[in-house]
Amino acid sequence: MKKVVILTGAGMSAESGISTFRDSGGLWEEYRVEDVATIEGYQRNPELVLNFYNERRRQLPLVRPCHGHELVAELEKDFDVTVITQNVDNLHERAGSTKVIHLHGELDKATSTWSPNDPKQIVTLPPDHPDIHIGDTAADGSQLRPFIVWFGEPVPEIERAAMISSKADIFVVIGTSLNVYPAAGLIQYVPENAPIYLIDPKDVPWTSGHRFHHIKKGASEGMEELTQLLQKERL
Ligand code: OAD
């Protein structure tokens, strides 16, 4: 089976009702990135940061995968699909995708403030007690924090994602403004002869030398068109 690698961003979950970051009305108009998505912000005001992610986490059971997430999962019938997502929601998994790499962490998990990437410290929060409070502790005794990669922190999954991107037969980008590195840099690893499809209703600044096919539609409609286009690529 051909390898399809799909890089997704906030626009993938927009039709499920989760706000994007940089569109008008996006989250970064309401909150300052420095306050809620950096380690310095967390050190300054941990309660604000915990509450920001508690709110996002409480939204999870109230939203559902959109048709676009479902079509991404259905591609597994004909292709070896890996989803590399910048999203911290679990909508790809809930739609049925089996290989999902979360570059920026996972909202339904928590970890240690001292060693956030130590697998022994990472726990899944129970859906009936989803909030993290000041005073909740990880296994190492430190304050429990969201399992989210903040700006300025290492992105532990990037090497695995780069390796998988370098093996792609077909690469797809859905709903990301490609503003944030190293995620946006993954395109540089895609083999030159692999076609790249971009699904986004808006123009996205494209800095790579690859040729790409822009499906200028939202995630669900765009995935319908892509599913048709990929029919001829099945082996
Ligand atoms: P952005 O908000 O920067 O970009 C969202 C993209 O989705 C834009 O290009 C929109 O045009 C597009 N879009 C909007 N509605 C869409 C729809 N219905 N279907 C398809 N596309 C649509 O979000 P990201 O690129 O994901 O990181 O942002 C990257 C990272 O920046 C996030 O993971 C987050 C943020 O700060 C951290 O918090 C560490």
Q: Which residues are within 8 A (CB) of 106 and not within 5 positions of it... i.e. 6 or more apart?
A: 88, 90, 147, 148
What is the number of the ligand 1 atom nearest to the C-alpha of 177? 9
> In angstroms, what is the span from residue 173 Cα to ligand 1's centroid?
11
Residue 189 CA to residue 192 CA, distance in Å, equals 9
Strands 196-199 and 170-174: parallel
Can you give the pLDDT at residue 211? Answer: 80
pLDDT tens-digit profile of 70-113?
Answer: 999 999 999 999 999 999 999 999 999 999 999 999 999 999 99
Q: Which residues are within 8 A (CB) of 142 and not within 5 positions of it... i.e. 6 or more apart?
A: 112, 113, 114, 115
92 CB less than 6 Å from ligand 1? no
219 CB less than 6 Å from ligand 1? yes
For the chain, first and last CA: distance in Å? 6
pLDDT-based confidence at 235, cuts 50/70/90?
low
How is the chain split into domains, by residue range?
Answer: 1-18+66-104+154-235, 19-62+111-148
For atom 25 of ligand 1, the residue with the nearest CA is 176
Q: Are the C-beta atoms of residues 38 and 89 closer than 8 Å to each other?
A: no
Q: Which homologous superfamily does the CATH classification assign to the domain defined by 19-62+111-148?
A: SIR2/SIRT2 'Small Domain' (3.30.1600.10)
pLDDT-based confidence at 205, cuts 50/70/90?
confident
> In angstroms, what is the span from residue 198 Cα to ligand 1's centroid?
13
201 CB less than 6 Å from ligand 1? yes
* pTM recorded for the entire structure: 0.96
> In angstroms, what is the span from residue 235 Cα to ligand 1's centroid?
32
Q: Is 135 left (phi over 0), alpha (psi -120 to 50) or beta?
A: left
pLDDT tens-digit profile of 178-200?
Answer: 999 999 999 999 999 999 999 99
Active-site amino acid positions: 104
Can you give the pLDDT at residue 6? Answer: 98
What is the number of the ligand 1 atom nearest to the C-alpha of 68? 19
What is the number of the ligand 1 atom nearest to the C-alpha of 27? 2
> In angstroms, what is the span from residue 75 Cα to ligand 1's centroid?
22
Residue spans of alpha helices (H) in 141-181: 158-165
89 CB less than 6 Å from ligand 1? no
Chain mean pLDDT for the chain: 95
Phi, psi of 120 (to 5 degrees): -70, -15
Q: Which homologous superfamily does the CATH classification assign to the domain defined by 1-18+66-104+154-235?
A: TPP-binding domain (3.40.50.1220)
Q: Are the C-beta atoms of residues 219 and 175 closer than 8 Å to each other?
A: yes
Can you give the pLDDT at residue 28? Answer: 87
pLDDT tens-digit profile of 146-167?
Answer: 999 999 999 999 999 999 999 9
165 CB less than 6 Å from ligand 1? no
- Sign of dihedral through CA atoms 113, 116, 120, 122? positive
